[in-house]
Structure 1
């Protein structure tokens, strides 16, 4: 037992260059941010996350804030940002000023390509709000050229962040279809949700569209329907190439999948 304890302590005390690369926290009045990058695999792909530590009472925005707010902007140099995930958000604010985002600390899992070694920088721009909104701007740099040892604490944190992402569509919890209104300013979304769950929260996203907060969810036979305002509809778009994503929250369950819009 003593040998195991000694080995565990030795792992935690290894030089930081040999562990998962973690930037210092950038601190602001409303929230702090840092970047964590695990060692890359043989193909140069690395799991990573943007760690947003909101302070009590502060909020930040989802990838489509619903017409009021600043969507997060993250660009990466020294590697390629190949994927970023967002946990299912919440509707925040009131009827006069509502938006979509998070009111608790949140971690955004990322996948980086070409992270074979050397510095990686994430340039981040976020809006965080309480009584006022302030911009959080930061260049978060990590050195990924260490010895490839994975810090178990950081790996656990990234795995936990990945576990918060919405699940895939499945029987009983899936999109059915979406339909444009005659003027193109609304999409009526039909979906299935688990029996006995609370009425679902409905969110749409997909650049270059911008969507508002969904209206009340109503029954339509065995399905549910919600109307989502379209705040910006580009003149040209290809939904086969860049589909609109439907994100649902029903009770404790969340789901995300492409929505077929007719």
Structure 2
């Protein structure tokens, strides 16, 4: 793949509105996107998802793409966006250019607050890449006014998206500790993970302006695994007690995500 830089290609901005709990697909050269939402639960919250249907050979980025790429951006109107879920990503690219993302269709579960009107809209900005990267912007709208019964296909799709998210920490698969390098340009991460199969893949992400690079290959040290993760940007002011850094690990067909304590 060529060096991943945003191509000087026209920004794709398409308005998609549908009087249903699923928006129309917004079609692009590299992939299609839609918004799916279920009827509000008893407390008024709404389970939803951003459905990204990548075309063969195309890729898109994780929430921290590793210094090269466009992290997905989702802004919601008509309801508060409470959380966005991301399945565990993959390390992509070549020896010269590493980045972090997805090379197959991916669904991002969303949790929304109570709808404030008859429609919920999501303004989405993401990058899809093959030999070039295309920035895609789409306005996706669903009707939130009257549906009281979930479409079984929509409910099944959102449940599958939620099930694809990493599990929380558990015995034998959990963060142990992290340590800043003396110059602050990397983090040494120690974690427990299943020992069968290939070495685990390690990813870090954070809020408050942190940016992390692609981790070096993990190695065994006693009963633990260790990996070095580059710090591409570390803000001058941050509060990890309030906004912790998340460790995401892929070990075979299992994935885990949990806050990482860093000394």
TM-score (norm 2): 0.91
Q: What's the CA shift string for 1:10-61, capped at 9, x where partnerless?
A: xxxxxx96xx601000000000000001000232101000000000000000
Aligned length, in residue pairs? 245
Structure 1 stretches of 4+ with a deviation exceeding 2 A read none
Two-structure CA RMSD over aligned residues (Å): 1.1
CA distance, structure 1, for counterparts of residue 251 and residue 27 of structure 2? 34
Mapped to 1, the partners of 2:43 and 2:167 lie a distance apart of: 26
2:244 corresponds to: 243
| Higher alpha-carbon Rg | 1
Give distance in 1, aligned partners of 2:34 and 2:197: 35
Asked if 1:135 corresponds to 2:141, the answer is no
Unmatched segments (≥5 aa) in structure 2 = 1-17
* Structure-to-structure mapping, 1:79-228, within 5 angstroms: 79-115=79-115, 117-207=117-207, 208-228=209-229
* Contact in 2 for aligned 1:118/1:143 (Cα 8 Å): yes
CA distance in 2, matches of 1:25, 1:201: 33
Aligned to 1:13: none
The answer as to whether partners of 1:199 and 1:217 remain within 8 angstroms in 2 is yes
* Preserved contact between residue 116 and residue 145 of structure 1 (Cα < 8 Å): no
Deviation at 1:67, TM superposition (A): 0.6
3-state secondary structure, aligned to 2:228: strand
Aligned partner of 1:258 in structure 2 is: 259
Secondary structure of 1:21 counterpart? coil
Q: Give the structure with the higher percent helix.
A: 1
TM-score, with normalisation over the residues of structure 1? 0.92
Counterpart position of 1:229: 230
Give how far 1:147 is off.
3.2
**Contact persistence 2:78–2:116 (CA under 8 A):** no
Question: In structure 2, how many angstroms separate the alpha carbons of the residues matched to 1:175 and 1:69?
Answer: 27
Gaps of 5+ in 1: 1-15
Residue 48 (str. 1) matches residue 48 (str. 2): yes
Deviation per CA, 1:130-152: give whole Å up to 9, x if none. Answer: 01100110000111112311100
| Partner residue in 1 for 2:14 | none
Q: CA deviation at 1:220?
A: 1.1
2:62 matched residue in structure 1: 62
SS of the residue corresponding to residue 22 of structure 1 reads coil
